[in-house]
Structure 1
Amino acid sequence: MRAVVLHPHPDMGGTRHDPVVTTLARALVGAHTFDFVSSDPRRAVDQTLTELGDGSVWLAGYSFGGGIASLIDDPRVRGWILVAPALAMVAPVIATDTRPKLVLAAERDAFFPPASLRELTAGWAATTHHEIAGADHFLRGHERDVAARAAAWVLQFAP
């Protein structure tokens, strides 16, 4: 399962070394991570498209990275894993796409609470929601749970 994992907002200290990103990348065997060169969404999308490489790929993003992932409907993407995604900051383009989507929401997320994410994704095609109990937006102490849920979800689509 080839994957590309996108990190939180670079202007807020987000990098590919974020614990959620690194744990998720380890769980999605062979995952690729990189650092955004800009916090501008258009530039981040362009950079991500370059990083996708050849062949099909799962696109995962945490926080800002989840928002950026929701802006990419490239045919190489097999599906999306959006972890505490910053959907309120962007205008997602994947809503009607029938490829699978997983939205993982942190129960106590002060920035993107589960109810808000459910509202923002209401009517999205092929979308599964899971809530990470007891977690806030930063998911400290819940990284393995996030990664395990994402990896198990992806495995159901294995050929």
Structure 2
Amino acid sequence: MPEVIFAGPEGRLEGRYHPQKQPDAPIAIILHPHPQFGGTMNNRVVHRLHYAFHELGFTVLRFNFRGVGRSQGEYDQGVGELSDAASALDYLQAMNPNSKHCWVAGFSFGAWIGMQLLMRRPEITGFISVSPPANMYDFSFLAPCPSSGLIINGTADRVAPPKDTASLVAKLREQKGITITHEEVEGAGHFFENEEDQMAPMITTVQEYVRRRLGEQTR
């Protein structure tokens, strides 16, 4: 998978870019967890999401937010990281001008950034939010939420408690014109540490959801 360096708001950003042969393949960006708590684009969940989308025929980009790895700049409380994500999407779209479908997937802090990106970019047709930290960040900006998506979390998540995720889902489901799908992985913690019982079922659920949505979007 080629390493890429592209321009961000505070200098260069480091990414991994995995293209398809088809010029009109759907595109997806994957957003990593909190930079100040060890989050990078090589996080296990992020890595698995990247390949999950690629297996479904997406051209995929994951990248390091500012100040992480070889990406320039410093942590910026989410404000600059949202700009980084917008720059990553700009880069991905410039490389794939014929793509008809655009998705964003984020894990934890990355889920919060990804859902903010939804509000900025109407071309995003679907989202995946894994373990969104609804207890730590305000998601009230999703009014209205502009696209349908999947929110998935573990029932044993101690970082972002399931009750807060359920409250977020309930609020989003009050909105008309979109469908929020909510799935829980029984016994899974925030990081889906166990491969067989936690990570694999989460990835399978994500792929089944995206496959179904793609089928609906291409009819």
- Give the Cα separation in 2 of the matches to 1:70 and 1:87: 12
Following TM superposition, by how much is the alpha carbon of 1:48 offset from its aligned partner in structure 2, in angstroms?
0.2
Task: Please name the residue that 2:114 is paired with.
Answer: 69
Where does structure 1 lack aligned partners over 5 or more consecutive residues?
none
Q: 2-side partners of 1:18 and 1:86: how far apart?
A: 17
Q: Does the aligned pair in 2 maintain the 1:79–1:101 contact within 8 Å?
A: yes
Structure of higher RCO (CA pairs closer than 8 Å, 6+ residues apart) = 1
Q: Report the more deviating stretch, 11-20 or 120-129.
A: 120-129
How many residue pairs get aligned? The number is 159
Alpha-carbon separation, structure 2, partners of 1:3 and 1:75: 14
1:43-82 Cα deviation digits (max 9, x unpaired): 0110101111325421110011011112122112112110
Q: Tell me the amino acid that sits aligned with residue 82 of structure 1.
A: S
CA distance in 1, matches of 2:43, 2:60: 14
Tell me how far 1:121 sits from its aligned partner.
2.7
Counterpart code for 2:161: P
Out of 16, 28, 39, the position equivalent to 2:41 is 16
Contact 1:10 1:39 in 2 (8 A): no
The corresponding residue for 1:34 is 63
User: Where does residue 47 of structure 1 map in the other structure?
Assistant: 84
Separation in 2, partners of 1:110, 1:157: 30
**Residue deviations 1:73-110 (CA, integer Å, cap 9, x gap):** 21121121100012333333335224212110111001
Give, in angstroms, the shift of residue 113 of structure 1.
1.8
What TM-score do the two structures reach when normalised by structure 1? 0.91
Cα separation, 2, equivalents of 1:16 and 1:98: 26
Residue 87 of structure 1: aligned partner: 134
> Helix, strand or coil for the counterpart of 1:51?
helix
TM-score scaled to structure 2, two decimals?
Answer: 0.68
Could you list the runs of 4 or more consecutive aligned residues of structure 1 that deviate by over 6 angstroms after TM superposition? none
Distance change >3 Å, CA 39–CA 13, structure 1 → 2: farther
Identity rate, percent: 28
Residue of structure 1 in register with 2:166 after alignment: 118
SS in 1 for 2:182: strand
**Alignment check: 8 A CA contact 1:23 1:144 kept:** no
